[in-house]
Structure formats: structure tokens, C-alpha cells
Amino acid sequence: MDRRNFLKTAGVACAAATGARSARAQEHDTDPEEFVGVLVDTTRCIGCRSCEIGCALAHNLPVPDVQDDGALEAVRTTSETSWTVVNRFETDSGEVFVKKQCMHCWQPACTAACLTNAMAKTARGPVTWDGDKCMGCRFCMVSCPFDIPKFEYDEWNPRIQKCNLCNERLERGEKPACVASCPTDALMFGTKRELMEIARTRIYAHPERYVHQIYGEFEAGGTGWLYLSAVPFEQIGFRTDLGVTPYPEYTRDFLYAVPVVFFGMPALLYGLNLLAARTEAVRGAPNGAEHVPSPENPSTSE
Amino acid sequence: MAEASTGVSGGRLRFILSEMKPRGRWLTPFNVISIPVIIVGLVILWFRFTQGLGSVTNLSQAFPWGFWIGFDVVTGVAFAGGAYVITFVVYVMKEEKYRPIVRVTVLNGFLAYLFYAGALVLDLGRPWHIVNPIIGNSFGYNSVLFLVAWHFLLYMIAEAIEFSPAVAEWLGARKARRLLHAMTLAAVIFGITLSMLHQSGLGALFLLAKAKIHPLWYTEFIPILFFVSSIFAGLSMIIFEGTISEKVLKEYLGDKAGGHDNLVFGLAKGAAIAMFVYYFFKLLVFLHEGHWSELDTPWGWWFLVEVLGLVLLPCILYAFGARHRSLGIIKVAAVLTLIGIVVNRLNISVIAFNWQAPVHYIPSWQEIVVTLMIIFLEIWVFRWVVTRMPVYPGTNNRPAPAIDSD
């Protein structure tokens, strides 16, 4: 642990002990950059699945056969060999195609769950996985409200597989592969601030075309990926019961209570012990006190 | 000098080696059942480590945690709660009545952590990275699991210290014993604190699974419920385990095992009180969350079985048994309570987890065999220790020759 981290931890512990609730600041004070994300306009998606191909090629995953429309018959989830999938939904306003991948939450459940920082939110916004740190406990999978991290159950040295927002491409100044391969501008890459402006503009300009909600604006505390839709989101496979609380908040109170218990409890227990010893002394019956030989302490009697 | 110390350590080594030898009859029912299970378990583990978790478990993308986590780790740790409760009563509150069962309870607790929490290693995809959160190259401070992992480790050390005087007595190391004995109270206080935190921490893990656990079981108070239930889970385990040992270890315990009835009534009373507090908490949480409509569904009936049948009923039985001094009723209560803990922990971690999933996880036979293997291995080690070290008061284990020069 380096000095900076130590001070940071000590600071957080002190803040916790005094009941201050200022930990949120720590997530942003080191981020000069704005988080990036992708806006998905499901009214523009034609279900061509070019994004699936682009993603597979960019990450050495098996390339799907998009000629085979059979894959769209059932709703699919992402898997350990496909980081993104496009699903078809029959709705009141006809067929709707929806791309699914990691949402790149602003305050992700998986990074709060990870005990080795293998899951981490980079300063630019992608949530990435580091195989040198991961111990394979799969707590990220348990905690993710979108069920995104996938585990290689048939490998002796398994990896967690999930969309990394093409972090390696972003570092080269390129767009994510899926966005680059989308032929209809259904996907748009940018900072969340820009994307929100665009999304709102589209709703204002065509209020009859969209439901007046941007999925990802607030869900689970806000996500990097944003969705526009013509039909209510629950009809196209989205969970609308996740609430707006960032997931790390759910364990924050517990974690803040830890230092209090950790330092308070021993003091309390020691006090109780002194009290008990005193009561015993006053009672004048030191039976079983530490120095008296007892059947289980044969050596003290020698 | 050097010669003398070589002689001492050589003598001790010979003693330890002679103690390693098995004693007693080989063809006991327990050996006949446990040895094949352990062999099959080892074969299963060979497949697990060469071909991945998927080759032997029914785990899936929707159910990343199964029987090994839900039962071995989460339930096993709750069952091991007796150690911190009894050490609190005896060492902190100086309630000497319970001293005769301190060592066996601490030993049980320590072995439970070693084997059941240790079973976590089998479930980790990349177990060789288990040192990462400890050696400091990647501290996930924000993670409840980070806290739980550290507390497991520290608590095992605390329990080892609590038990170490028995080892020192076994080895006839009187100087070491005095030193270790002096550390007991500190280890106990530290251990109780750690227990409070990781028993509740195991529950806090599931706070992050808000989107997946059935609303009847998900509450922000899971950590408190886990902590309170670990008290009576531990007490029930002491009663249950005591009943079994009394029968099985008769030749070692002799008549000494008798005369503990008073002690059992005390434990039962404690369990009844803790269970009532827990039940009351459950009730408050239910009223607070107000999921009345969920009650008349199969999930609701299952919830009622757990809360009424496996908490309230054994709570009443404990109270009744303690008041009317009925060991039989208390034993029934202990078994019901233990089943209730298994059901509760599995409900939160496996059964009511992803309850809306079209295909639900059911453990594979291999997962069950490996779990049995771990239980049997723990019992083997437990049996070896109690038949050699001074664990039960007044047993006639042959002590080592005193070889300290003081």
C-alpha cells in the first residue's frame, strides 16, 4: 500500500468514524475527464447485427453468423463468447431491435463488489476487468443489476467476459467497435453530457416518436449507455424496477459502521470484562479465576 | 545447550509422529461411509481444477453462487458462531459454568472456518489469486467481500490463539502455554469483534443483489439478521454437536460427559432469547416492507415455513424445554433451528436468488459429494484432535512428557 492510498484510507476511516458522509467526493476528485458512453436510438436500429460482428472482431471472439435470423427468435443474453447481442421484441408499435451489453454504470455494483479491484471504472468511463487481479469469486455477477459479467465455467483458468467499451480503442482515440460498425447511426459515441443533450433534443423535436424517458439517465444511479425508445422500456427487455440509487450506496452504511464497531466493540468488551471481574471479586467467590487450577489446566497445578 | 535443545525438539518430533498414528478400531460405520466419499470427492476436485467449475457443478451465468457458497461458506460460518458466543460468556462475562465446553467449541469454530470457509478456495475461479487482497497489490477497500475475507483470516488466527494452550499442553510446552494463555483475553475480545463484523458482513454481501433476491427476503437489515441468527445458530450447533459427541466419543469421555445438563438448559435459554429477538426483527422488517400480497404465493408459503416453522416453533420449544428441563425437547429444537438456518442462508444466497429465472439452479451430485467430503474431513481432524489433546475436561489423553527445562 503506498502512502497516498494509506492516507486516503485513513481519511475515509476518520470521516466514517466522525459520521461525515463525504466519500462520494473521492470518486470524482481524480477525474479531470468526463465519462464517455453511447446513445442507442432503438427507433433507428434495423437489427443487422453489424455491431455484434464488429465487437467479436475487435476482441477475438467467435464471429456470429448474422445471416441466420434464427438467432433472433428467442431473447438472448450476452455470454462468455459474445459481449454484445441484439434482440428483437414484438411490441405495440411493431418490431423493435435492442442492443444489449455492459451499461458502464457511473457507480457500478461490480466495482463496489470486487475485493481485488479487478473490476474497475477507468477515468474515461469504461468498466474494465483485469485478469491479473481477479480471483474468480463471481461477486460481480451476483451484484450486477443488469446481469452482464459472464464467467468461463469450462476453463481451468476462467476469465470474466464482458464489454469493456473498447477501452483499448478509446486509448488510441478511436470509437468503440460497435459504434464504428453501425450503418444507421443507431449508436452514437460521446460524453454523457453531449449524449443527453442529443437524446433530449430528439425527444423534443419528435415528441410523438419517443417515450419521454432516457433509459440510463438515472437507472441504478446513471449509466454510460443511454437508450431512446418508441415503446415503454419494459416491453423491450429493460428492467424498470432498479431504482435510481447507485449500487455502492446499498453497502455504504454497513461499511461506515465497520470502523465504529472495530474500535468501539473491543473497548466495550474489555469494560464488561473488568466489570465482571469486579463483580466476582466483590462476591468473594473467585471460583475458576485464571490462576486457580482447573481440570482443563493441569499444567498450572504443577 | 544446542545439544539439549536438539534433544528436546527431537523428543517432541517423535512424540508428534507417534500421535499421528491412527488409534482405535478402523471399521467404524463413520469410516466406512466417509472414506469412499472422500476418495470420490478428490476425483471430482481433480476434474474441477483441470476442466473448470462447469464440469462438476450446475453453476450458470444466472446462478454464479451455488451450494458451495450458500451452504459450505455462508451456512458453515453461521454454524461456527458458537465459538464467539461461548468465549464471550466465559472469558468476558466470566460465567464459569460454561468453561468445560469452551475448548471444544473453539476447536469446532476453528475447524469450521478452516474447512467450510476454506471451501471457498474450491469455488474460486482463480484461487491462486486469493492472496491479492491480502498482500496489498490490489486492495478493494470499497468491497464488503474484502472486509469479510480479511476478517475470516484474522478470526482464524484469533481462534488458533484461543485454542493454542490446549496444543501447548498436549506437547508439554509449559513456557509456551503460559505465554499463549496470557494472550487469550485479547484474542477473545478481538475475535468477538471480528465475528460481529463478518457474520453481519456475510449478509451485507447480498445487499448488492437487491435486483435479484425475492422481496420477502431482501431487506437493508440482512446484516443485522445474519448477526443475530449466528448467535442461536452457534448455540444450537453446540447442543447438537454435544449430543453426537456424547454418544460417539463415549470411550474417551467416559462419565465425564454427563452432568452437562444444566449447561444445556442455559444454552437453550440463551438460544430462545436470541431467537425471539430475531423473530421480532423479522416481523418488524416484514411489517416495514409490507409485502402482504407476496404472502399468498408459493414463495410466501415457503417464507412462512422458514419464519414460523423453523424460527418461531423452535424458539418456543427451546423456551419450553429450558423451563421444564426437558433435554429431548431441546434437542428437537436444536435440529429444527439448524435446519432453519440452512433454509434461511440458502434462501438468500441460492433459492430466492434470481427467483424469476426460468431455469433455477439445483446443485449437482458432485457439489453435494464435495460438500460431504469437506464435512467428513473436518470430522476426521476433529476426532484426531479431541482424542489426543486436552479438549474435554478430565479426559485421559496421554499427555506428552514434560520437556521444558523450567
- Asked if A254 and B200 come within 8 Å (Cβ–Cβ), the reply is yes
Reference B376, options B38, B26, B6; nearest CA is B38
Q: Which residues pair with A90 in a beta bridge?
A: A95
Closest-CA residue of A relative to B175 is A299
B134-163 residues touching A, CB cutoff 8 A: 136-147, 149
Q: What pLDDT band is residue A33 in, cutting at 50, 70 and 90?
A: confident
Nearest chain A Cα distance for residue B32, angstroms: 32
What would the grid cell of residue B300 be?
A: 410466501
Please report the DSSP string for B179-205 in residue order: HHHHTHHHHHHHHHHHHHHHHHHHHHG
Q: What is the pLDDT of residues B43-83, one digit of tens each?
A: 999 999 999 999 999 999 999 999 999 999 999 999 999 99
Q: Which residue has the cell 427476503?
A: B217
B210 part of contact set with chain A, CB < 8 Å: yes
From the CB of residue B322, how many other CB atoms can be counted at a distance below 10 Å?
Answer: 22
- Cβ contacts of A96 within 8 Å, gap of 6 or more: A42, A43, A45, A88, A89, A229, A230, A231, A235, A236
- pTM: predicted TM-score of the whole model, two decimal places: 0.88
Question: Which residues on B lie below 8 Å from A141 (Cβ)?
Answer: 61, 64
Each residue's pLDDT tens digit, A228-240: 999 999 999 999 9
Summarize pLDDT for A111-151 with one digit per residue, the tens. Answer: 999 999 999 999 999 999 999 999 999 999 999 999 999 99
| CA-based nearest distance A102→chain B, Å | 15
Q: Which of B87, B143, B359 is the best residue to mutate to test the A interface, defined by the most A CB atoms within 10 Å of its own CB?
A: B143
Most confident of B8-17, B167-176, B217-226: B217-226
Question: What pLDDT score was predicted for residue B25?
Answer: 75
pLDDT for res B7: 56
More confident residue, B96 or B309: B309
The Cα–Cα gap between B225 and B229 comes to 6
Q: Which of B62, B136, B402 sits opposite A147 (nearest CB)?
A: B62
Which residues in B lie closer than 8 A to residue A258 (C-beta atoms)? 147, 197
CA B204, chain centre distance (Å): 18
As for the ipTM of the complex, it is 0.89
Question: Could you report how far apart the first and last alpha carbons of chain B are, in Å?
Answer: 14
pLDDT at A20 over 60: no
Q: B394 in contact with A at a CB cutoff of 8 Å?
A: yes
Q: Letter for the amino acid at A156?
A: W
| Chain A residue at shortest CA distance from B139 | A116
Domain B32-386: top CATH class: mainly alpha
Residue A167: the pLDDT is 95
Amino acid A302: pLDDT: 32
DSSP B29: H
- pLDDT at residue B190, as a whole number: 94
H-type alpha helices, A150-248: 167-171, 177-180, 192-205
Which of B51, B141, B143 shows the shortest C-beta gap to A113? B143
CA distances from B252 to A65, A94, B35, B145, B396 (A): 70, 77, 22, 41, 7
- Helix, strand and coil percent figures for chain A, each rounded to 5: 35, 15, 50
pLDDT in tens, B153-178: 999 999 999 999 999 988 888 888 99
Range 89-108 of A in CB contact (< 8 A) with B = none
- Whether B132 contacts chain A with CB within 8 A: yes
* pLDDT at residue B252 in the model: 66
Please state, rounded to an integer, the average pLDDT across all residues of chain A.
86
Note whether B94 contacts A: Cβ–Cβ < 8 A. Answer: yes
Cα–Cα–Cα angle for A285, A287, A291, nearest 5°?
120
Report pLDDT digits (tens) over A71-120: 888 899 999 999 999 999 999 888 999 999 999 999 999 999 999 999 99
Looking at the complex, report in whole angstroms how far the Cα of residue A222 sits from the nearest Cα belonging to chain B: 15
Delimit the domains of chain A by residue range. Answer: 29-246, 248-281
- What's the angle, vertex CA B84, arms to CA B82 and CA B85, rounded to 5? 60
Q: B133: which chain A residues are within 8 Å (Cβ-Cβ)?
A: 115-116, 135
Strand partners, A88: A97
Amino acid, res. B384: W
A268 at B interface, C-beta within 8 A = no
Residue A18, pLDDT > 50, answer: no
**AA letter at B315:** C
Contact between A299 and B174 using a beta-carbon 8 Å cutoff: yes
Contact check, Cβ <8 Å, A115/B146: yes
The cell 483470516 sits on which residue?
A: B153
Interface A–B counts its CB contacts (< 8 A) at 198
Residues in chain A: 302
Right CATH for A29-246 from 3.40.190.10, 3.30.70.980, 3.30.70.20, 1.10.10.10: 3.30.70.20
Phi first, then psi: give them for residue A36, nearest 5 degrees: -105, 165
The answer on pLDDT for B209 being more than 90 is yes
> Quick check: helix, strand or coil at residue A128?
strand
Nearby residues of B362 by Cβ (< 8 Å), 6 or more positions away: B58
In whole angstroms, what is the distance from residue B95 CA to residue B87 CA?
10
Q: Tell me the nearest-neighbour CA distance from A112 into chain B, angstroms.
A: 5
Is the pLDDT reported for residue B4 higher than 50?
no
Q: A79 and B61: CB-CB below 8 Å?
A: yes
Given a cut of 80, whether residue B96 has pLDDT beyond it is: yes
